[in-house]
Amino acid sequence: MFVTLKDIVLILLITLFFSCDKHLVIPVANSHYFINIYVDDFEGKSIFLYKLTPKLLKVDSSLVKNNSAYFDGKIDFTERYIITLKDIKGAKLFIVENDSIEIIIDKTDLRKSTLKGSLINDELISFQNKSNRITSKIESLFPDLQRARLNNDAEALKKISSQIAEIEQENIAFNFEYVNLHPDSFLSAMILNDLSKREEIDTEKISKSYHLLSKKVKQSVDSKSVERFLLLQL
């Protein structure tokens, strides 16, 4: 049998995987996804994979064996998914594309589970951190809000409500800015889809941002959802 350069590279990658640290993400071709999950003290229990749709869609389940579990499959478009653990509250949100992802589970707070090996998830985490820095300003207003409610202080309540609204608008502006600056990112389509579902949103801004998205991103599930939203506004 004739051995090609591609075969040699594949053998080297497999050798590298089995000779290195157990938390190394398994290299795969970009034709399917591989989600490698590590969790301590969860032997024989189930981990569930759901697609994040208007109604959660269960995609797969996997039993933990030797502190690890995995999912593999193929998707047509980059989308958001979540994993949940049997008898553990909460979920971990992440983005699935046809690539390798490693997740190290934090059972005390699934949201704090660590993601590795995925550039778009690095992008998601960076975006979330910046957005959270804006919305965290609301938390600092809670003591004043509770005090105003206890005292039935209508003037103070009005002022605090106005401050909260300003912070929310600041975060919305950040969302739009991110989409407009990253038209070739699937994350931008996801952000825009979420914005379109708000009760009060500037439809013209949604439309302008949508039309900035690249042709590739416009083929995504989230972009198609935004497109349907805009058609309903006509």
Domain map of the chain by residue range?
29-115, 122-232
Greatest CA separation found in the chain? 84
pLDDT digits (tens, 9 = 90+) for 86-104: 999 999 999 999 999 999 9
- To the nearest 10°, report the CA torsion of 165, 167, 171, 177: 100
Whether residue 215 has pLDDT greater than 80? yes
Q: How far is CA 217 from the centre of its chain?
A: 16
The DSSP letter of residue 15 is: H
pTM above 0.85, yes or no: no
CA atoms within 13 A on the CB side of 97: 16
Beta-bridge partners for 58: 50
Say how far apart CA 84 and CA 91 lie, in whole Å. Answer: 5
Mean pLDDT of all residues belonging to the chain: 88
pLDDT digits (tens, 9 = 90+) for 156-180: 999 999 999 999 999 999 999 999 9
For strands 100-104 and 33-38, give the pairing: parallel
Domain 29-115 has CATH 2.60.40.2700: no
Contacts of 205 (CB under 8 A, 6+ apart): 176
Q: Which of 101, 78, 103, 83 is nearest to 93 (CA)?
A: 83
pLDDT digits (tens, 9 = 90+) for 94-146: 999 999 999 999 999 999 999 998 899 999 999 999 999 999 999 999 999 99
